Structure 1
Amino acid sequence: MTDPHPRRPRRRLPHHVVVRLLAALLVPLASFLVLGTAAPASAHATLVSTDPAEGAVLDAAPDQVTFTFNEAVIGVPTGIQVFDATGEVVASKATVREAELVVELEDEVGEGTLVVVWRLVSADGHPIGGSLTFSVGEPSATVAVPETSADAGTDAPFVLSLVRWLGYLGLLAAAGLAAFYVLLLPRDAPEAGRHRLRAVARGGALVAIVAFWVAVPLVALYQLGLPTSALGDGSTWATLSTWEYAVPAAVAVGLALAVGVLPAGAPDRARAGLALVGCAVALAAPSMTGHTRATTPEALVIAVDVLHLVAGATWLGGLLAIGLVLRDLTGRDDSGAVVLARFSTWASALLALLVITGTFMAWRVAGSWDALLETGYGSFLLVKVLIVLVAIVIAAWNRFALLPNLQAASGEDRVGAASVLVRTTVAEAGVLVAVLLVTGFLVDRSPEPDVVVTSPSAQGQSGDQSVELDAITADLTLDPLAVGPTTITITLTDDAGRPTEGYEAPRLSLSTTDVDLGEVTLTNQGPGTYAGDLVLPTGGTWEVQVSLRTSEFDNPVKTVRFEVP
């Protein structure tokens, strides 16, 4: 009996159409995640309050000084010191308890100004520092504070970024090659090709292991702000987080397992499983330190970062493997085209995974367009995105133009088509190496905004400053503009010039290249007006960081400069 309503056979979309549709969906999704839902993420520990307050004038010297942060911090040897107005050291003892730093004054101090200089390490591994100034009886006329380890820069040194790059390059290459060896390489692949893959994988593993361990002392000097001679001091090594040792150890164990079990011939299931476990351990380890440890929700961000590394390793390792064995495979039959087609299918999924995970990480770590466009971290991140786009263009050319040529070729034509594909594949891998170079510099950069607004006072005009914080204008006044006691006032107005308020009260902090006064305690003086008293210990260029939460999700941060005579 014939069905009067026969069903039409389902038509499957061609593979290239699916990939294009997926890319078309991912681009607006990425833009929406970063533009529409970005919320500031916690990057560094932030000083919340001090006791006594900045600029306070006390009747008697306190027994201890307390600093409270918004997250746990790590103490630094010789990172906390107390000085009197003449620059003489005041005996003290510092203790760090989770998010609190307590500095006990062990000797009696006379009248005058005291300065507590501090340097700590936040949860993401970046050093933070500053100072607190208060007075007993009355402020001193002049304050002289000598240079300390707390004054060391907080920017990562070039050599550390270079070592990071070598570590990630070796890690992703070794893990990706090992995964390709057990998952995609034909069981009857030529012995010469297998030998090259194993040799390069082992070389990459060696580079990664050495680089990750070399980074440990460099991280110690960077975090603690100490000279190279401090590496002979046991306290330098004891201060480092346990994760700074656990990560290179996990990378070493994982890669040794991944490349060590690769046989000369086709691997059995046991060896293949061990190799993949080693790859997973090595690729998961780097996510246990850095920005992911200080970004919420921590578990989700770490998981996404691991997926990002897995996708990157599979892509880079696959490209290197294709470049190493494609000529051998195409010299016999069409197995080279088959392997390349299988990897191309994987690469499409990897591209989607890289876009989604990369967008998510940018959203959680950077947190806003300000951080992307106006910080060193954001600049490196945007450069990384542009280079990845170049890699995607090359990958698309390989997939939709050169691969069909290889599949249709035969005989000598197949060898020529394979040679062209090898060259473009090597070029694609080279672009990814450049991506890793940017990543090496990105790891130790801060995502915190630092937008500098040129100060009229720097041109000899008044100390009054204005800065735009979304739809709110903030007018700042420093009166008097001089060394010693002064008052900073901030007035918030809307587009019509009427007093207005933010979602929360504004926050101000002052610093120079040598002294960081931290956050100023502000009191409300009326609608949209706040003021705080402080003491400027020296003249020069003072930067005032203005932070205002304008909504539940938006918190613009700007910086203005005052030239103090």
Structure 2
Amino acid sequence: MSLADAGRRAGGWLLLLTVLAALLVGPAGTVSAHATLISTDPAQGAVLETAPERVTFTFNESVIGVPAGIKVFDATGTEVASTATVRASRLLVDLDEKVADGTLVVVWRLVSEDGHPIGGSLSFAVGAPSDVVDVPGTGTGADAGTEAPALLGVVRGVGYAGLLLTAGLAAFAVLFLPRDAAADRSRARLRPVARVAAGIGALGWAVAVPLVALYQLGLPASALADGDTWTALAAAEYAVPAVVVVGLTLAGCALPASAPGRGRVALVLAGCALAVTAPAFTGHTRAATPEALVLGVDVLHLAAGSLWLGGLVAISLVLGDLARGEHGAVVLGAFSTWAAGLLAVLVVAGTVLAWRISGSWAALLDSGYGALLLVKVLAALVAIGIAAWNRYALLPRFREAAAQPEPTRPPPPRGRKASRGGAVSRGRSAPARTDRAASATPLVRTALAEAGVLVVVLAVTGFLVDRSPETASAVAAEGRGESATESVRLDDISARITLDPVAVGPATLTIEMTDPAGEPAEGFEAPRMSLASDEVELGELSLSSLGPGVYAGDVVLPTTGEWEVQVSLRTTEFDNPVRTVAFRVPDGS
């Protein structure tokens, strides 16, 4: 190795380590697995004197409306005419008819910015709550009925396998194979495989579109005949598969059968670039921050994975041909060097994506998404182990066999015909070629084994794409179970305000009031509490009495930082002291 080559290689590793250090040291930020409902107007459980003209839901990010996803029911389960409108992060539900006194329930389903559906219900009353409420589908969770179907995961896996295999085979053919006629036989082997893989990948991405529509909108298969089903999908759900199909078609069709020129190489690589770049603009990366970093890392992750998988399959297909000549050791050595760098990129990119999407290291251990991700990591580690054995044990043997010169042909014995002598000499030179072929066989087997493990990685990836990771705050709240309490004086009444848990996401705010003797105390009216930060004002909470002097209300904290709770209590007909306490919500990462 020359000093210049050594300097370039050292510089490349230094750059990789610098990027890795920057990614790991930089702050993780707050990542949402899907949109979070911040507030509603009216509030959950509110009792109003008159029916509102409009019900407003406010989320922490933009949401997408779903046809027939918003319905309003009275206490008997009869649907109330309504009109739903989505404006960025707000859902507006207008009541189009007069309603009688009693409980009303708004059942809603929307699509989050990352493509995952969310749903839930809101109950409030006009005049007085109804004694019995019989409304179907009124789950309180935001994920009720929003799990991705297994079929969609399988189709995703097939689509990604076809994408990565096509891009990898095509890139290997134009980047690693010699640009002369000696490699034409190898190119002829790779081209049909790449084209079949392109067809399978394009089919997988195309079939996923209607499955995504049914998944996001929560509709049966019969809804595909309705035009509203197709118009409700976000533009990205059409654009990304379309770009992937175009990229796969370009890469497969432009793949040459003979030594390519620069123009043909550029077309093939352009198709590969389109195919591996487009998927980064859909799924979890759309909701992770910082967006530019996560998108870039996702593209690197797919590009490295495609070249690794496609290169392994290509090696297994053409190494036997290349081993007969002088190019086998050169091609395998070049790919092996690149593979080491690809492994480093995959490890770094995969780690960063897992961190940014999950939001915390704890989420990788305490969530279903994290469990699948760990399976993917373990499978990748097995592939890395096979690759290390391939590079450091089998490759040197192959190079050693390839470096052995063929024995010279002895002159034919006197008295024998040249043709017979030629046959004898060819028989004596066969061991050198046999040694090369024999040394190539273990490499082909391990390459196939490595590729098989990577197919498992792709299968897991297919299910990960549509599984919603839990937010870091939810995992942290379940794991810590921490609460915080602050005390204030409201004239002669002492009040203890407790926030449980102190984390982003669902929480409960409780107030316990006692008199100077330590006995439960009540004010002239029930207490009032409101929450606000420097950026978000959640407004007044709906409090429920849990017993003498104890009230509690549910709240969803959308962000970390300092939250102020304003407490007011009418202690007499004329006195209404107001106090403020603060809670610091830490970053769960």
Letter aligned with residue 159 of structure 1? L
Among residues 170, 175, 181, which one is paired with 1:188 in the alignment? 181
Query: Are positions 1:274 and 2:285 aligned together?
Result: no
Is the Cα contact below 8 Å between 1:34 and 1:362 reproduced in 2?
no
- The SS at the match of 1:369 is coil
- The SS at the match of 1:102 is strand
What is the distance in 2 between the residues matched to 1:179 and 1:545?
49
* 1:402-551 mapped onto 2 (5 Å cutoff): 402-409=394-401, 410=404, 411=432, 412-449=434-471, 469=480, 472-473=482-483, 491=498, 507-508=506-507, 523=530, 532-533=542-543, 549=560
Letter aligned with residue 95 of structure 1? T
What is the distance in 2 between the residues matched to 1:320 and 1:407?
20
Q: Which residue does 2:408 correspond to in 1?
A: none
Q: Which residue does 1:240 correspond to in 2?
A: 233
What is the distance in 1 between the residues matched to 2:133 and 2:45?
13
* Pair 143,336 (structure 1): closer, same or farther in 2 beyond 3 Å: same
Which structure 1 residue ranges, 5 or more long, are not aligned? Answer: 1-8, 454-465, 476-488, 494-500, 511-520, 525-529, 537-542, 558-565
Among residues 17, 21, 44, which one is paired with 2:34 in the alignment? 44
Identity %: 58
Q: Which residue does 2:358 correspond to in 1?
A: 366
The offset of 1:387, in angstroms, is 1.0
The offset of 1:364, in angstroms, is 1.3
- The SS at the match of 1:81 is strand
The offset of 1:505, in angstroms, is 8.7
What is the distance in 2 between the residues matched to 1:226 and 1:35?
44
Which structure 2 residue ranges, 5 or more long, are not aligned? Answer: 405-431, 486-495, 510-527, 532-539, 547-553, 563-583
- The SS at the match of 2:334 is helix
Q: Which residue does 1:129 correspond to in 2?
A: 119
- The SS at the match of 1:141 is coil
Q: Which residue does 1:316 correspond to in 2?
A: 309
Greater relative contact order (CA < 8 Å, ≥ 6 in sequence): 1
Letter aligned with residue 132 of structure 2? T
What is the distance in 2 between the residues matched to 1:385 and 1:189?
39
Letter aligned with residue 206 of structure 2? W
1:26-45 CA-to-partner distances (Å, cap 9, x unmatched) read 9x958x96699443312211
* Pair 546,105 (structure 1): closer, same or farther in 2 beyond 3 Å: closer
Among residues 59, 65, 68, which one is paired with 2:55 in the alignment? 65
1:352-383 CA-to-partner distances (Å, cap 9, x unmatched) read 21122112211211110232111111111111
TM-score by length of 2: 0.76
TM-score by length of 1: 0.79
* Pair 262,13 (structure 1): closer, same or farther in 2 beyond 3 Å: closer
Root-mean-square deviation (Å): 3.6
- The SS at the match of 2:64 is coil
The offset of 1:300, in angstroms, is 2.4
- The SS at the match of 2:159 is helix
Letter aligned with residue 346 of structure 1? W
Is the Cα contact below 8 Å between 1:509 and 1:546 reproduced in 2?
no
1:196-236 CA-to-partner distances (Å, cap 9, x unmatched) read 20011001100010010000000000000000110000000
Q: Which residue does 1:389 correspond to in 2?
A: 381
Query: Are positions 1:249 and 2:242 aligned together?
Result: yes
Paired residues, number: 490
What is the distance in 1 between the residues matched to 2:30 and 2:336?
37
What is the distance in 1 between the residues matched to 2:183 and 2:289?
48
* Pair 490,25 (structure 1): closer, same or farther in 2 beyond 3 Å: farther
Is the Cα contact below 8 Å between 2:46 and 2:542 reproduced in 1?
no
Is the Cα contact below 8 Å between 1:469 and 1:548 reproduced in 2?
no
Among residues 133, 140, 143, which one is paired with 2:130 in the alignment? 140
Q: Which residue does 2:523 correspond to in 1?
A: none
The offset of 1:65, in angstroms, is 0.3
What is the distance in 2 between the residues matched to 1:367 and 1:185?
42
What is the distance in 2 between the residues matched to 1:383 and 1:161?
15
1:472-498 CA-to-partner distances (Å, cap 9, x unmatched) read 4469xxxxxxxxxxxxx97359xxxxx
What is the distance in 2 between the residues matched to 1:136 and 1:349?
65
- The SS at the match of 2:543 is strand
Q: Which residue does 1:481 correspond to in 2?
A: none
- The SS at the match of 1:48 is strand
Q: Which residue does 2:369 correspond to in 1?
A: 377
Range 398-407 or range 188-197, more displaced: 188-197
Q: Which of structure 1's runs of 4+ aligned residues deviate more than 6 A?
A: 9-15, 21-26, 148-152, 450-453, 543-548, 550-553
The offset of 1:247, in angstroms, is 1.2
Q: Which residue does 1:108 correspond to in 2?
A: 98
Among residues 223, 226, 235, which one is paired with 2:216 in the alignment? 223
* Pair 451,273 (structure 1): closer, same or farther in 2 beyond 3 Å: closer
Letter aligned with residue 69 of structure 2? G
Higher-Rg member (1/2)? 2
* Pair 152,77 (structure 1): closer, same or farther in 2 beyond 3 Å: farther
Q: Which residue does 1:357 correspond to in 2?
A: 349
